[in-house]
A and B are shown apart, each in its own frame.
Chain A
């Protein structure tokens, strides 16, 4: 009996000092950010386990409340898509994991005042990924349809 009480007493203090082993390491490479680009909006897709944030430069940002964005020369959009995973520190939460793609849309004007779009997709290593014309048009449409999130 005495030994049992002593064991309990020791367990008391050993267990109190126990901490769970860390299952994760910091990944600064998942952070995206470029000077002159600000957040327009964000979203996630639980079926695909992805989340995304649409960034834009000042010309893109100031043209954010339309139902479909007008294409103005000088606009730069970057749509960053991450893999999404359960938050390792909070059951019920989800958080971005690694960057999957960065879609870049630049709007310019040609000599005869025709507005042109230049769209391409990169992975996190800046390697260009192939997309056919129909895929490109569909993604440009997706970017143009994004309404700006409400910030205070």
Chain B
């Protein structure tokens, strides 16, 4: 009886395994049949750069960020084909080397620096992509070439500095400009502490970054991931004047003011941060739809370990040991 029972159990579990395998197989076949196909629309405004630069992008980025996607046989196999199709769709939405001319030269410059920084941080090309497309990997030498390329590009665009006469506010802003997501401009930050002072080669600007009491307390207590609700960071951005004979660079015209407001319940789509930017002395709110903040957080995700904030006071651990 004991032997019979065992025989019965083993027989039925074999049957069950068989049924599961058949279902899985049928599912896979179904997925293959319905697998998404990736179209390559015509190239309308191709990216132009020196050959050695363009070839790096072509080899490492074009499969997703252009209309010249070249799929390998395994990219077309379900379930991978579904992931590949989703990645390509998202990648082309963020920027597309085949429609490069459709964005302004200023936006092109911003995106090129973003790419270089994503590559340096190891976020791009996607590690899951390079794991199976080894030729897409970017070497340190190639990254150096890209860094030199963007640095020279920005030097041409911003190297001369802001020589325009510095405009001053000749009347106070009557109403507080409001961003489309409901964040209004305020100037309380002028009495807050400056948490960082920065300048950037990539857009020829210099900045002071202010933090409210909650922000400064979070830095002091080293509790910035996540930042507490109520933390507010305000960045005031000026164009750089040309360097003087002593090597000093001073702020030129006021460019914009940017705000980050932490409210984990309100700004759930953007990691709890509400973003706003007010351009020029007239403080024109940036962004035509609330979706503008998605591009803000996409870039700020590079520093997820800092609670999505770039400009914080830091030191290297070696200095701390001294």
A residues at B contact (CB < 8 Å): 5, 8, 11-13, 15-16, 18-20, 22-33, 38-39, 41-48, 51, 53, 82, 87-98, 147, 149-152
**Bound form: Cα–Cα A149–B240 in Å:** 11
If A12-B128, A31-B194, A152-B281 touch, whether A89 touches B315 (CB-CB below 8 Å) is no
If A16-B127, A30-B315, A152-B254 touch, whether A45 touches B246 (CB-CB below 8 Å) is yes
Contact B313 A27 (CB under 8 A): yes
- The chain A residue sitting closest to B256, CB to CB, is A152
If A41-B250, A43-B248 touch, whether A15 touches B131 (CB-CB below 8 Å) is yes
Contact of B206 among A24, A42, A82 (CB under 8 A): A42
**Bound form: Cα–Cα A118–B187 in Å:** 32
**Bound form: Cα–Cα A88–B193 in Å:** 22
Contact B199 A152 (CB under 8 A): no
**Bound form: Cα–Cα A25–B236 in Å:** 24
If A24-B317, A151-B236 touch, whether A45 touches B169 (CB-CB below 8 Å) is no
Contact of B120 among A30, A47, A91 (CB under 8 A): A91
CB distance from B135 to the nearest CB of A (A): 14
Shortest beta-carbon contacts, A-B, top 7? A33-B193, A47-B247, A15-B127, A24-B314, A30-B313, A11-B131, A92-B202
Stretch at the interface among B13-21, B53-61, B97-105, B298-306: B298-306
CB distance from B274 to the nearest CB of A (A): 19
CB distance from B239 to the nearest CB of A (A): 10
Contact B200 A26 (CB under 8 A): no
Asked if B224 is at the interface of the complex by the 8 Å CB criterion, the answer is yes
If A18-B127, A32-B194 touch, whether A89 touches B247 (CB-CB below 8 Å) is no
If A33-B216, A39-B208, A152-B283 touch, whether A94 touches B128 (CB-CB below 8 Å) is no
Q: Which chain B residues border A152 with CB–CB below 8 Å? A: 169, 173, 185, 187, 254, 257, 278, 281, 283
Contact of A96 among B132, B151, B197, B316 (CB under 8 A): B197
A-B CB contact pairs (8 Å), 7 listed: A39-B194, A45-B247, A45-B249, A91-B117, A92-B113, A92-B154, A94-B199
Asked if B243 is at the interface of the complex by the 8 Å CB criterion, the answer is yes
- The chain A residue sitting closest to B306, CB to CB, is A89
Contact B197 A53 (CB under 8 A): yes
**Bound form: Cα–Cα A25–B121 in Å:** 17
**Bound form: Cα–Cα A14–B320 in Å:** 32
**Bound form: Cα–Cα A91–B312 in Å:** 15
Contact B314 A150 (CB under 8 A): no
11 additional contacts, CB 8 Å, given A33-B193, A53-B208? Answer: A13-B128, A24-B316, A24-B317, A26-B222, A28-B220, A31-B195, A31-B219, A39-B190, A42-B208, A93-B202, A96-B197
CB distance from B111 to the nearest CB of A (A): 13
Q: Which chain B residues border A93 with CB–CB below 8 Å? A: 198-202, 310
Contact B313 A31 (CB under 8 A): yes
